[in-house]
Structure 1
Amino acid sequence: MANGKVSRKAIARHGSKVFGSRIARLIFASNLAGLAILIIGAMVLNEMRAGFVVSKKQDLVAQAQIFTSLLGDDATTPAPLLDVEAARQTIVRLNLPERVRARIYTPDGELVGDSFYLSERVDIDALPPLQEPSDFARLGASLSEWASDTLGPIMPRRSSEALVAQSFEEEFEIAVRGQEAASQRFSDRGQRIISVSMPIQRVSAVVGVLTLESNDIDEIIRSERAALIPFIGVAVLVAFITSVLLTLGIARPLRRLSVAADRIKAGTSDSIDIPALNSRKDEIGNLAESMQNMTEALLERIQANEQFAADVAHELKNPLTSIRSAVETAERVQDDPVALERLRQVIAQDVKRLDRLITDISNASRLEAEMTRVPTEQMDIAGFVHHVVQTYEGLGRDDRSVHVEFRDDTMGARLLVRGRDGPLGQVVRNLIDNARSFSPEGGEVFVIVDQSNDGPQTIARIMVEDSGPGIPEDKLEKIFSRFYTDRPAGTAFGNNSGLGLSIVQQIVTTHRGKVWAENRAEGGARFVVDLPAI
């Protein structure tokens, strides 16, 4: 029931489609947002329009200056007056471009010549055959108009700054006064017209006004926008493809990892097995491998805890069984004081053993929490070990008079390691206590700090040597097993739980070090702890 509930939650959270992923939506949104800004900016073409307007104005002004100079020479009389017929003939000879219209006015505003009506040119293809515009052309035009209508009011209109909007009458009045006038306006058909009016002068007298008009700006803008449509289409396609590839390469693998983690949480799987992700040589592959290693470490920790619980139950059961047997026996030998005293001693020893077991089990359990909560720090390992050894000075005969001596073989080198002083202090104390328990009365235990190397890595080495009987060769590794004890003859029963060396190995491994045992050539055992130095 719980597994089904977790699975339904996982499905609801992860979704079953690509767009159910928040990262996928973010990828598509970010790519398309930048593309949309590019498209809208291209469709607006405000800067290009401003450039076209200024360029067209300059072109018309240059033409008007040339034309008025010709008209001033060829179409005026000494009176001075404008020769209307000569002015008309001059317009005909100018052969103006198709989209440029020239008109001549007298100073009182009478139109005396218009190039649209005076030109003898006949454009055979001026009226193309009627045909429906293509869907592509309609789309381009629609996008262009929508962009202009939507964003035009909020975009800086530099075209209007380049050329003022005014009526023809206002422009004509300026030209009649002998000044150049230029403006933009819209015709009754909605076309944008760029207009330049220039006075026609005889000496310094204004005898007429020449007006040049061009209405092809909007058509040029539309054609430029339409030319951008294929590139925009390719950009949209590329953005879509890259979004899909990023989604497949990032969002989908992350979703698979999340689903696998939910399966482990629900208990339907005991590992994250995604070979395709583990083989990737990028951050996703590193994440998958890290999650795989983390899961395996957690499973190992769970199995270790289960084994620890089983070992604890087994170790606690032995003294409890012994106590129960002693109690049952005591009920049957009530009349035998000697037997009762012996049973009382057995019960006392078993209680002492239970107390020792519970204390060591509690310390071992607390150790794991301490290793994760307490931060590491830099430690002078020689000074630290020396400080621990000093606590054994002055021990009395109740402690078997075994002398503990410290020796620094690093020749004054200040070896620094990164660790936790509490757990590392427990390592040194456990090894010293173990060595003292195996040493004969009046013996010596040597604690030595030395320096070694493991390739380029400097190693801080701690050695604890005793003068005891040594360790059987087949037990050099087994002695680090949990609850393993092989005490020397005469050792008080119940004083050792078999957890000391196991705790040492656990702490050293957590500090990325190694610990092992070996026998000395001169007799006794040696325990070696290697820690990576900074």
Structure 2
Amino acid sequence: MSKERRRRREWCATDNDDWQTPEEREKLKEISRQLRPPAKFIWMGIIGIHLSVVGTWVISYYTVRAIFNRTHPELGWPIWKQILTIELSFLLMYAIIKFAHVFVRPLRRQMDWFFHLIGAMKQLSKGNFDVKFKANPKYMGQFGPLVTTFNEMASELSQMERMRQEFISNVSHEFQSPLTSIAGFAKALQAGDLPDATKHHYLDIIETESKRLSRLSDNLLKLTSLESKHHPFEPKKYRLDRQLRHLILLCEPLWQEKDIEMDVDLPEVTIVADEDLISQVWINLLHNSIKFTPKGGTVGVRLTTSGPLVHALVYNNGPDISSEALPHLFERFFKEDKSRERERGGSGLGLSIVQKIVDMHDGEIAASNRPQGGAQFAVSLPASSTSSS
């Protein structure tokens, strides 16, 4: 394999030889024709070449003449002097070409990998997000940021594609599981000769799985709407402490059923935010805390302020969150214990929705374990948030 071919393969954007179809090569040739310099520049180049030939011959002629007139004026102008003049002219022409090549060669290299970059973009447009453009930094020049940005874009698109496929796989799995249960128990009920207690048990399971499907659909729609950047966002001034007290009272049947003690410290705090969206944050965090708190345990809600920020802390004295799960809590469909979550009716989307709403308000949310045991979620919001990004 020639050096030129190895060089081209090294700059090639993909690892396989068949990285261009004949149609793409024709398109690249068409682009090359479009990038061809105008005729006036071509004529200027031809004239420049002729002027260079004449100029080098004139310089060589007077150089040879001056040297021999100074050293051996009696020799005259024999044929070998003319040959020497021609040789010197060719030598000067060669030196000029090599000197020009120093400047032209990087440009040719840039054009070469520029066409390969177009081929890589074609691969990217066809869904090949694993494409990576390789080029020698020595010849990238002002196009260096373009190559770097292209590789970063391809890497981000590849990651997004993997997340999309994983999301579709998770959605399919989450829907398939309750549908399988519903179908199985419905078929069992068709058998007929079942005790009434068993029938009621099967019907309860079908009802539970149907509700889980409904919640999953609602959460998916809500998350999609929030991420579309077209979700209604109407910030207004209101009392955050009053909102939290109201939501805690709404959850009273849940924490009274488990005999949970509510540790509440809510000083008067005013905030500018979308009240409906922020209420979804507290509902999800409260339900999570109550769900994982043992019977007779404690769930706490605290409000503090520091400068322009409002800090809310929701905690419980239930089990700690594992160190492996902490970095992934806010990912879609993530469940630390999938079997327990399914029994509790969780979909793995609640905390993703919470994080998206907090992000829309330019806030931050973090999960951690308390030193005395249990999990806690800390939410920080600007007191006058007006963002919806």
Same fold, judged at TM 0.5 (above): yes
Q: Does 1:395 align with 2:247?
A: no
**TM-score where L is the length of structure 1:** 0.45
Report the counterpart of residue 15 of structure 1 in structure 2.
Answer: 29
SS at match of 1:498: coil
Correspondence list, 1:265-280, <5 A: 265-266=125-126, 270-277=130-137
SS at match of 2:347: coil
Within 1, Cα distance between the matches of 2:103 and 2:336? 64
Within 2, Cα distance between the matches of 1:324 and 1:375? 37
Report the counterpart of residue 195 of structure 1 in structure 2.
Answer: none
* AA at the equivalent of 1:344: L
Correspondence list, 1:112-123, <5 A: none
How far did residue 265 of structure 1 move?
A: 2.6
Q: Residues 433 and 336 (structure 1 numbering): CA distance in 2 closer, same or farther, change over 3 Å?
A: closer
Q: Report if aligned partners of 1:333, 1:339 keep a CA contact under 8 Å in 2.
A: no
1:468 aligned to which of 317, 325, 350: 317
How far did residue 302 of structure 1 move?
A: 1.0
How far did residue 390 of structure 1 move?
A: 7.1
Within 2, Cα distance between the matches of 1:351 and 1:301? 31
* AA at the equivalent of 1:298: L
Structure (1 or 2) with the greater helix fraction: 2
Q: Report if aligned partners of 1:466, 1:525 keep a CA contact under 8 Å in 2.
A: yes
Q: Report if aligned partners of 2:303, 2:310 keep a CA contact under 8 Å in 1.
A: no
Q: Report if aligned partners of 1:315, 1:483 keep a CA contact under 8 Å in 2.
A: no
What fraction of aligned residue pairs are identical, expressed as a percent?
A: 21
Within 1, Cα distance between the matches of 2:97 and 2:134? 31
Q: Report if aligned partners of 1:460, 1:531 keep a CA contact under 8 Å in 2.
A: yes
SS at match of 2:21: helix
1:258 aligned to which of 87, 98, 118: 118
SS at match of 1:496: coil
How far did residue 345 of structure 1 move?
A: 1.1
Listed one character per residue, the Cα deviations across residues 200-219 of structure 1 (whole Å, up to 9, x for unaligned) are xxxxxxxxxxxxxxxxxxxx
Correspondence list, 1:274-423, <5 A: 274-277=134-137, 283-334=142-193, 336-370=195-229, 389=244, 392=247, 395=250, 397-398=252-253, 400=255, 406=266
How far did residue 446 of structure 1 move?
A: 2.2
Within 2, Cα distance between the matches of 1:433 and 1:310? 27
Within 2, Cα distance between the matches of 1:280 and 1:427? 52
Listed one character per residue, the Cα deviations across residues 474-510 of structure 1 (whole Å, up to 9, x for unaligned) are 46425445241659x9x99564212222444567789
* AA at the equivalent of 2:349: L
Q: Structure 1, unaligned stretches of length 5 or more?
A: 40-134, 138-232, 452-458
Report the counterpart of residue 210 of structure 1 in structure 2.
Answer: none
Q: Residues 21 and 365 (structure 1 numbering): CA distance in 2 closer, same or farther, change over 3 Å?
A: farther
Q: Residues 291 and 358 (structure 1 numbering): CA distance in 2 closer, same or farther, change over 3 Å?
A: same
- Equivalent pairs, count: 317
Larger Rg: 1
SS at match of 1:392: helix
SS at match of 1:271: coil
* AA at the equivalent of 2:115: R
Report the counterpart of residue 446 of structure 1 in structure 2.
Answer: 302
Q: Residues 325 and 369 (structure 1 numbering): CA distance in 2 closer, same or farther, change over 3 Å?
A: same
Q: Does 1:434 align with 2:284?
A: no
Root mean square deviation of aligned Cα: 5.6
Listed one character per residue, the Cα deviations across residues 230-288 of structure 1 (whole Å, up to 9, x for unaligned) are xxx9xx999x87984674365444333221111233356722231425x7785422121
Report the counterpart of residue 70 of structure 2 in structure 1.
Answer: none
Report the counterpart of residue 64 of structure 2 in structure 1.
Answer: none
Structure (1 or 2) with the greater strand fraction: 1
Q: Residues 506 and 297 (structure 1 numbering): CA distance in 2 closer, same or farther, change over 3 Å?
A: farther
Q: Residues 331 and 528 (structure 1 numbering): CA distance in 2 closer, same or farther, change over 3 Å?
A: same
Q: Residues 11 and 467 (structure 1 numbering): CA distance in 2 closer, same or farther, change over 3 Å?
A: same
Report the counterpart of residue 496 of structure 1 in structure 2.
Answer: 346
Report the counterpart of residue 518 of structure 1 in structure 2.
Answer: 368
Within 1, Cα distance between the matches of 2:380 and 2:141? 34
Report the counterpart of residue 68 of structure 1 in structure 2.
Answer: none
SS at match of 1:358: helix
Q: Report if aligned partners of 1:461, 1:531 keep a CA contact under 8 Å in 2.
A: yes
Q: Structure 2, unaligned stretches of length 5 or more?
A: 1-17, 56-92, 257-261
SS at match of 2:367: strand
* AA at the equivalent of 1:357: L
Q: Residues 514 and 393 (structure 1 numbering): CA distance in 2 closer, same or farther, change over 3 Å?
A: closer
Q: Report if aligned partners of 2:110, 2:140 keep a CA contact under 8 Å in 1.
A: no
